Amino acid sequence: MRTSRVLLCFTVVVSACISECKYHPNWSSIDSRPLPAWYDEAKVGVFMHWGVFSVPSFGETAWLWAFWQRDHVKPYVDYMTKNYRPGFTYADFAPEFKAEFFNPDEWAEILEASGAKYFVITTKHHEGFTLWPSKVSFNWNAMQVGPKRDLIGELATAIRKKTSLHFGLYHSLFAWFDPLYVTDKSNNFKTQLYPPAKAWPELYELVNNYKPEILWSDGDAGPDWYWNSTQFLAWLYNESPVKDYVVTNDRWGNNGIMCHHGGYYTCADRYNPGKLQNHKWENAMTLDRVAWGYRRTVKLSDLMAMEELIYQIASTVSCGGNILVNVGPTAWGTIVPIFEQKLRQMGEWLKVNGEAIYSTKPWSHQNDTVTKHVWYTSKKTGNGTAVYAIVLKWPTTNILTLGAPIPTSGTVVTMLGYAGSFGFKGIGQQGITIRIPVIPFYEMPCQWGWVFKLEGLKNAASKVGF
């Protein structure tokens, strides 16, 4: 029943497009859609990985099931053997996913304080468990097992009510152990049982019910023609309720789609190429270097220091990317204080320095040519184009030498969050020498990266954005 209804829906979509739809189900047409402007302006997002894997909360968390029962990786097999009764199955974890302390308003407040402009949450990871009451989930979703709540719906409501963040949904196309997927895979994807029964209806439910502003596709373990990705994206862009503003990524088929087709490019986990890219991209990275989900054995040394996070933000935005900063909530529904602290500290930094991040464009140079650990962005202001030098290491003398800018007699050098302008040398030459006054500790605007704003440079022009 359900399958034929979905197929019918696809048929209608495809035939409607012959006459009136803007985007056609092929990559050249899908790729021609301009990226909705809000996404490039937003620059910073927060990512969360949450699911049944948050219960064992062990090792690479979200991957535990596959490492334990598909790949038989020794530490995972040993952990399960030692700590769980014989015959314990992965499904037995689900009732322990209770989210009993989950308060979406509290998460919303932390997200707003983080300075992020968008939020993406896993609605279903490779384990197949859906955090919303999917009509095609049989007892493997958060409404029937575990929390007994529509976690996605509650978050959508809280974030829209309490914050200005854009709301995004992560969705894994495949599920490791779904029997229909396993059958299709063993048939080299010549059969197509799983997409019409699961992947497509899930995507339609997510888009129609929660109207995400980002659809973050993952788990594309199968070719694009198996997932009918271009047909789905044509519907998303032409007819869906989010067609005018939805943004998506590039994980729509494992036959060379990633980093080449779709919306913005993710290319790889923790992608940060260090040079300017000619297509909008995103650095999806983790504060816990080891895992995407919450890990009970996480150590302070596994966590990214603020200096490192600010470097990730500066280098990513400088090279035309957005950054998506991941934290893993607990199975009981909280964000543990060390992650909360880092998110709030990111917000403190952005409060002072956001002018150099949000709505900026890449400059002609990304990092400086002379001084290490300096990354540039640029932005049109009322007074022409400002260039921002994000200095990640405070100069050891009172002199900051930058090789890329060409100052003029009209150049003004200031520091974001600090009153007054700085003297400099080098008018008419390549390079600028900035004299930094002695700044009392309590007048320093921030702790981990300082932004020098250069106005009136001869070579101020930005690179074209996306």
Ligand X SMILES: *[C@@H]1O[C@H](CO)[C@@H](O)[C@H](O)[C@H]1NC(C)=O
Residues 225-264 within binding reach of ligand X (CB under 6 A)? 225, 228, 231
Q: Does 372 bind ligand X (CB under 6 A)?
A: yes
CB burial readout 281-304, b (16+ within 10 A) else e = bbbbbbbbeebbbbbeebeeeebb
Partnered with residue 452 across adjacent β-strands are 389, 415
Residues 395-434 within binding reach of ligand X (CB under 6 A)? 410
Tell me the residue length of the chain.
466
Nearest CB to ligand X, comparing residues 11 and 83: 11
- H-assigned helices in 246-361: 306-318, 337-353
Using CB under 6 A, pick the residue from 123, 134, 330, 367 that binds ligand X: 367
Query: CB 393 → ligand X: shortest distance, Å?
Result: 11
Q: Which stretch binds ligand X (CB under 6 A): 21-29, 69-77, 162-170, 241-249?
A: 21-29
Query: CB 336 → ligand X: shortest distance, Å?
Result: 34
Query: CB 261 → ligand X: shortest distance, Å?
Result: 12
Q: Which one-letter DSSP state was computed for residue 222?
A: S
Q: Which stretch binds ligand X (CB under 6 A): 49-57, 100-108, 133-141, 361-369?
A: 361-369
Nearest CB to ligand X, comparing residues 164 and 188: 188
Count of chain residues binding ligand X (CB under 6 A): 19
Nearest CB to ligand X, comparing residues 69 and 401: 401
What is the distance, to the nearest Å, from the Cα of residue 440 to the centroid of all Cα atoms in its chain? 37
Residues 382-401 within binding reach of ligand X (CB under 6 A)? 382-383
Nearest CB to ligand X, comparing residues 65 and 375: 375
Radius of gyration of the chain, Cα coordinates, nearest whole angstrom: 24
Q: Are 379 and 406 in contact (CB under 8 A)?
A: no
Q: Are 212 and 2 in contact (CB under 8 A)?
A: no
Q: Which amino acid is at 59?
A: G
Q: Which stretch binds ligand X (CB under 6 A): 7-15, 144-152, 263-271, 329-337?
A: 7-15
Query: CB 371 → ligand X: shortest distance, Å?
Result: 6
Q: Which stretch binds ligand X (CB under 6 A): 67-75, 286-294, 363-371, 435-443?
A: 363-371
Nearest CB to ligand X, comparing residues 231 and 377: 231
CB burial readout 14-46, b (16+ within 10 A) else e = beebeeebebbbebebbbebeebeebbebbbbb
Query: CB 191 → ligand X: shortest distance, Å?
Result: 13
Residues 269-328 within binding reach of ligand X (CB under 6 A)? 274-275
CA distances (Å), origin 152, targets 101, 113, 266, 333: 15, 21, 23, 13
Q: Are 108 and 59 in contact (CB under 8 A)?
A: no
Q: Looking up tokens 């503003």, which residue turns up?
A: 245
Q: Does 29 bind ligand X (CB under 6 A)?
A: yes
Partnered with residue 324 across adjacent β-strands are 45, 284
Query: CB 41 → ligand X: shortest distance, Å?
Result: 20
CA distance 464 to 466: 7
Mind giving me the DSSP string for 100-114? TT--HHHHHHHHHHT
Q: From residue 118 to residue 157, what is the string marking binding to ligand X with x (rule CB under 6 A)?
A: ----------------------------------------
Q: Which amino acid is at 380?
A: K
Q: Which stretch binds ligand X (CB under 6 A): 22-30, 246-254, 306-314, 349-357?
A: 22-30
Q: Are 206 and 161 in contact (CB under 8 A)?
A: no
Nearest CB to ligand X, comparing residues 10 and 170: 10
Nearest CB to ligand X, comparing residues 277 and 341: 277
| Two tokens, residue 314 | 């500066």
Q: Which amino acid is at 436?
A: I
Describe the strand order of the beta sheet including 450-457 as a list of residue ranges. 374-381, 384-391, 450-457, 407-415, 421-425, 432-435, 399-402
Query: CB 27 → ligand X: shortest distance, Å?
Result: 7
Query: CB 103 → ligand X: shortest distance, Å?
Result: 40
Nearest CB to ligand X, comparing residues 186 and 369: 369
Query: CB 192 → ligand X: shortest distance, Å?
Result: 8
Using CB under 6 A, pick the residue from 3, 14, 91, 466 that binds ligand X: 14
> Closest residue (Cβ) to ligand X?
10
CA distance 164 to 162: 7
CA-angle at 239, arms to 236 and 245, nearest 5°: 60
Catalog residues that contact ligand X under the rule CB under 6 A: 7, 10, 14, 24, 26, 28-29, 225, 228, 231, 274-275, 367-369, 372, 382-383, 410
